[in-house]
Chains A and B, each alone.
Chain A
Amino acid sequence: MNIVELKNVSYTYRGETPVKAVKNVSLEIGEGGFVALCGHNGSGKSTLARLMNGLLTPDGGDVTVGGIPLGGEKKTETVNGVEMSYEKRLYEIRRNLGIVFQNPDNQTVAAIIEDDIAFGPENIGVPTAEIRERVDAALKSVGMSDYAEKTASRLSGGQKQRVAIAGILALKPRVIVLDESTAMLDPKGRAEVLDTVRRLNRDEGITIVLITHFMEEALLADKIYIMNEGEICLSGGREIFWTERAKLKEIGLKTPPAAELAEALRQAGVPVGREVCGEAELEQSLAELFSGQWTVVNDQLEGDSKGQIKDSGQLEGKPDHCPLTTDHCSLPVVIDQRELSFSYSPDTAFRADALKEVTLTVREGDFLGVIGHTGSGKSTLVQHWNGLIKMQIPKRKQRRRGAKQGTLFVLGLDLSRKDYGAPKRREGQGRGRKTEKGLPAYKALRSAVGMVFQYPEYQLFDETVLKDVGFGPRNLKLPPEEIAERCKWAIEAVGLDYEKVKDMSPFELSGGQKRRAAIAGVIAMKPRVLILDEPTAGLDPQGRGEIMDLILKLKAESCPTVVMVSHDMDEIARRCSRIAVLNGGRLEFDLPPPELYGAHADRLTEIGLDLPLTARLVRALRKRGIELPQGICKEDDFVAEAAKRLKR
C-alpha cells in the first residue's frame, strides 16, 4: 500500500518574481519504505516535503497521505465512509506524517525536553496519562531517556535532532520526513541521527523520507529520487549511481564518495566492479583484488613517521628577539604560541578548562587544519589569534599554585600585552598603544588576522553588498578611495559580479552568494592570515567545492597563511599542509596529514574523530592483512598506489 501519493503536484512561491519550485511531480511511497530525495540546494526538495503534510497547499495536483486526500480547502471529503472537513483532514495528515527540519535550534517549543516532546500529543488532545506513556516511549526509541528532565540548550546538535524526532514519534506517525536534518550536524551527530531513523524504519516499520545532499546517506534508502529544478529527473534503486552517472554529472551532482573513488580507480585501470558505491563494498572489492596478487611493499612511511613533534619550529632563545625569523625553517613564523592555557569562568565552581598548555607554531604559507570534537577548544584556540579572546595572565595567587603563563606572538606582536583583545572602556579612546596608522593595536591585529566565522552570512547587515563589504575597511579608517578600491577587489576576488551585486541588498543574494559576500567582508581588510571556522558547513557538495576552491585561490593570491577549522576530514586531508588535533583542550597532534592519518589513525578513532575515506580504506585493508603503506589520505595517492599494484 502506498502511504504517500503525490499526483501531478505543482507549487509556485508568490512574490515579486514568482518561483516555480515544484513542477508537476508525481511520486508514490510504499508503507514501511526508506526513500531518499536528493538534489541541489534550491532544487525543490524542501518544498516537496512541505507539500506532503499540508504546510504548503499545492497549486495543482493531489496529495494523499495514509489514504486521506488533502483536497480543496472548502470541500468536505468522504474518507472510508466518514465525512471529514478540510481541517480534520489536514491534522490527520500531519499526525501521520511528521517533518524534522534542518536547524536543530528552531524546533523546540519548551525549554525542558519532556515538555517539548509532549507538545504534539497535547495538541491533538491525547489524554494526560497516555501522553506520559508516549513521551517515555518516544524518548526510549531515540535513546534519550536519561535527558527527559534536562534543558534542550545544553545538548549537542545530534541530540537535539534526536529530540526533534522523538517529538514527532510521540504523535505516532506512519511517515517521518527528514528535511536536510543532518546538514548542520557534525559527522558524529549525523551518524546518531541516521542510526536512529534506520532503527525506526527497521524495528517500528515507520516510513522514512530522507531529504539530503549527502549522497552517501542516500545509499541507506531502498529508493532514491533525484530532484533538479523542481522536477524529479531520476528515480530508482542505488543502481542509478552506475547506470545514470552521466545524467547525474550533467545536473552537477556527484555519486557517493566511495563510488567516485571506485570510478577513479577504474579509470586508472584497477578493475573495481561498476556496482560498487558503498564504502564496505569498495573495501570488499579491493580486498579481493589485493589478496589475488599479494605483494610486500616496504612500509616506508611507517618507519620515519614521528610521534607528536614537540619541539619542531620552536624558536631558539626568547621569542621577543626576532619573532619573524627562525633558524629551523626559512619561512617566517606567523603565529608562535607556547603553553597557552585558557579557562572559562576561572575563579568559580563552573570553571571549564578550554585550552591546556597548547604549543603551536604557524608559518607563512601554512594551510593549517584544526580538528577536534565540538568543545575540544578549537574555537577558543583560533579566537586567541586575533585577540577576540584575551590571553589569560595568571594572578599572583594562581601562579603560586603553579599556573604558568603561556606566550603568544602573532605576526611578531606580543599578545600578552594589555592593549590587545577587546579594548577596555578607556583604552579604546586611544590610550592604548597605536600603530603607525594611528589605529589602536587591537584593530591592527584584527585586520591582519581575518576571521570568518561559521555561517558568516548571518553577520551581513548593511543596506548594500558594497557597504557591507566596506564595513571592515571603514573601521580601519582608511581613505575613501582605498575603501572603494578594496571593496571592488574583495567582491571580485570571491567570484561575485561587482557591477551586479554592489547595490543589491545582501539579503537578496542566494545562500552561496551570501557566504561569498561575507567572506569578501573579511578579506577586504587584506589580512595576512585568514582563519575560517567551518567554511563549508551547511552547503551542498557543489557549494562546498566552490568555497574550497575560493579559499585556495585566496591563499595563492592574497593571503598566504590559512587556518581552517573543520569536521570534513576528506577536505582537510586533501588541502591542508598540517593538521592540529585538539582533544579536551590539549594539542594531541600537530602533523602533516600523511603522518597523522598513517601512524596515528588508531588514536584518532579512539578519541572519536573520523578519518578521510581513503585512510579508512587503508586501515580496513591493512587489518585484513593486506600490506598497504600507511599514510595514504588523498584520493590521488590512493588511486596511484592501487593502480601500481593492481593494474592489469
Chain B
Amino acid sequence: MRDVSFGQYYPTKSFVHALDARAKLLLVVAYIAFIFFVDTFAGFAFAAVCLCVPIALSRVPLKLILKSLRAILFLIVFTMILNVLFFRPQGGESPLAAWWIFTIYRNGLEYAAKMAVRLILLIVGPSLLTLTTSPMELTGAIESLLKPLSWIRFPVHELAMIMSIALSIIPTIMEETDKIIKAQKARGADFESGNLFKKAKALVPVLVPLFVSSFRRADELAMAMDSRCYRGGKGRTKMKILRYGWRDSVAAVAMLLFGFGILLLRYNWFGVHFITLLY
C-alpha cells in the first residue's frame, strides 16, 4: 500500500475519466457550492439521484467510493450524535425524550439527518474527482487554472513542478522513514512509551537522518533536472495538453441543470409547488 502518490486514483477508461481535469475541478467546486443551497429532504434526494449519474458513468466500483466515506464515518456519526443531543429548537417544540442534560427533539433528528446526508454528498463528489483524475492531471489543471496569477508574478509553474516532484518522491521518503524507524528500533529505540515530550524527543533519531537524506536527494534531483536541460517554465512545451472537448460542454450543461434544479427546489421559483404535492 505504498501508492500514496497515486492517491486513490482508479485508472480506467470512462466518460468521467476523459473529462478535462480543469473542467472536473471547476465542476466539483460548483457542485460543492450548490450542495450548500440544499435544505430539504426532497432537495437531498434530488442531489443524490443526480450524483448517481456521474458515478455510474465513471465505471469506478461503488465499493471504492464507499471506502472514501469510511474514513469520515466517525465524523458523520459524531456530528449526528451532537446534533441530536444538543439541538435547541427556536420555537416551543415539545421534546420527544429527555434524560439528564440531553433532550431530543423531532427537529433535532431531522437536522442531524440532513447534516449527515450533506456531509456524505460533500465527500462523495470530490472523491469522484480524485478517483477519476490522476494527481498529475490535477497538478496540470491547477497550473493551468492559476496561470492568470503569473501576471502578478506568482510562481505558478514552480508551484506545479513542486507538487509533481513531491508526488513522485513521497513513496520513496515513506519507505525510507520506515527503514530508519526500524534501524533505530533495532538499536533499542522506543517510540511508544513515555509522555509527549519524551515521545517527541524519541523522534530525533528518525528526523535527523530523514532531513539529511532529503537534502541529499534534493541536491541529486536538482542535478538530474539540470542535466536534463531544465531552466524553469520559460520556453517549455508540454506533452499532455489539456483540451476542452464536447464531453466537458455536456458535463457543464448537466451541472447547470443540476444547479437550476436545486435552486428551484430551494426557492420555489415560478411558484411551483409540485414537490409538496408528493408528500
Contacts and interface: CB of A to CB of B under 8 A. Distances in A.
Given A153-B172, A422-B192, 18 more contacts: A105-B172, A109-B168, A109-B225, A111-B164, A111-B167, A123-B230, A151-B5, A153-B171, A386-B186, A388-B185, A451-B186, A458-B179, A459-B184, A460-B209, A471-B184, A471-B205, A475-B188, A522-B186
A606 B111 CA distance: 67
22 contacts: A53-B227, A94-B226, A99-B227, A105-B172, A106-B221, A107-B221, A108-B168, A110-B168, A119-B225, A121-B239, A151-B6, A153-B168, A422-B192, A424-B192, A428-B192, A428-B194, A454-B179, A458-B209, A459-B184, A461-B208, A462-B208, A522-B187
Interface in B208-264: 208-209, 212-213, 217, 220-221, 223-231, 235-241
A423 B193 contact: yes
Contact of B227 (A94, A122, A423, A458): A94
A128 B213 contact: no
B226 A453 contact: no
Given A106-B217, A112-B134, A461-B208, A128 B241 contact: yes
For the complex of A and B, 6 pairs with smallest distance between CB atoms: A475-B188, A428-B193, A153-B171, A461-B208, A118-B239, A451-B186
Given A153-B171, A154-B3, A525-B187, A109 B223 contact: no
A459 B209 contact: yes
Nearest to B219: A106
A488 interface: no
A168 B172 contact: no
A91 B189 CA distance: 49
Contacts of A124: 229, 235
Interface stretch (A74-82, A242-250, A442-450): A442-450
Interface in B107-155: 134-136
Interface in A95-131: 95, 98-99, 101, 103, 105-112, 114-116, 118-128, 131
Contact of B236 (A50, A125, A132): A125
B183 interface: yes
A410 to B, nearest CB: 13
Contacts of B167: 110-111
A589 to B, nearest CB: 27
A118 B193 CA distance: 48
Nearest to B208: A461
A106 B224 contact: yes
A383 B182 CA distance: 9
Given A91-B229, A345-B1, A447 B188 contact: yes
Contacts of B11: 149
A173 to B, nearest CB: 10
Given A122-B239, A388-B185, A475-B190, A55 B3 contact: no
Contacts of B134: 112
A589 B189 CA distance: 34
A150 to B, nearest CB: 10
Contacts of A323: none
Contacts of A521: 187
Contacts of B135: 111
B188 A101 contact: no
B213 A55 contact: no
A95 B229 contact: yes
Contacts of B42: none
Interface of A: 50, 53, 55, 87, 91, 94-95, 98-99, 101, 103, 105-112, 114-116, 118-128, 131-132, 135, 149, 151-154, 164, 167-168, 171, 345, 350, 383, 386, 388, 422-425, 428-429, 443, 446-447, 450-451, 453-454, 456, 458-462, 471-472, 475-476, 507, 521-522, 525
A374 to B, nearest CB: 13
A153 B187 contact: no
B184 A476 contact: no
Interface residues of B, number: 58
Given A131-B237, A475-B187, A171 B209 contact: no
A54 B1 CA distance: 40
Nearest to B230: A123
A388 to B, nearest CB: 5
A446 B187 contact: yes
A469 to B, nearest CB: 10
B185 A422 contact: yes
A306 to B, nearest CB: 35
B59 to A, nearest CB: 17
A105 B182 contact: no
A460 to B, nearest CB: 7
A115 B240 CA distance: 8
B132 to A, nearest CB: 15
B187 A112 contact: no
Contacts of B231: 87, 91, 123
Given A105-B172, A128-B241, A461-B205, A153 B5 contact: yes
A135 B239 contact: yes
Q: Do most interface residues of chain A lie in helix, strand or loop, or is the interface mixed?
A: helix
Contacts of A95: 229
Contacts of A111: 5-6, 135-136, 164, 167-168
Contacts of A471: 184, 187-189, 205
B192 A119 contact: no
A63 to B, nearest CB: 14
B165 interface: yes
Nearest to B192: A428
B234 to A, nearest CB: 9
Contacts of B206: 461
B181 to A, nearest CB: 9
B237 A126 contact: yes
B180 interface: yes
Given A98-B228, A109-B165, A125 B235 contact: yes
A443 B190 contact: yes
B2 A153 contact: yes
A50 B6 CA distance: 33
Contact of B188 (A121, A453, A525): A525
B23 to A, nearest CB: 20
Nearest to B202: A475
A103 B169 CA distance: 13
Interface string B156-169: 00000100110111
Nearest to B221: A106
B237 A128 contact: yes
B196 interface: no
A103 B204 CA distance: 25
Nearest to A463: B208
A425 to B, nearest CB: 5
Contacts of A422: 185, 192
Given A55-B223, A131-B239, A119 B188 contact: no
Interface in B1-50: 1-3, 5-6, 11
Contacts of A522: 186-187
Given A386-B186, A443-B190, A105 B217 contact: yes
A103 B237 CA distance: 28
Contacts of B194: 428
A164 B163 CA distance: 20
A115 B228 contact: no
Contacts of A55: 223, 226-227
A288 B183 CA distance: 51
Given A91-B231, A107-B224, A128 B3 contact: no
A516 to B, nearest CB: 16
A121 B165 CA distance: 17
Given A107-B221, A451-B186, A458-B213, A120 B228 contact: yes
A350 B213 contact: no
B136 A112 contact: yes
Contact of A122 (B1, B188, B190, B238): B238
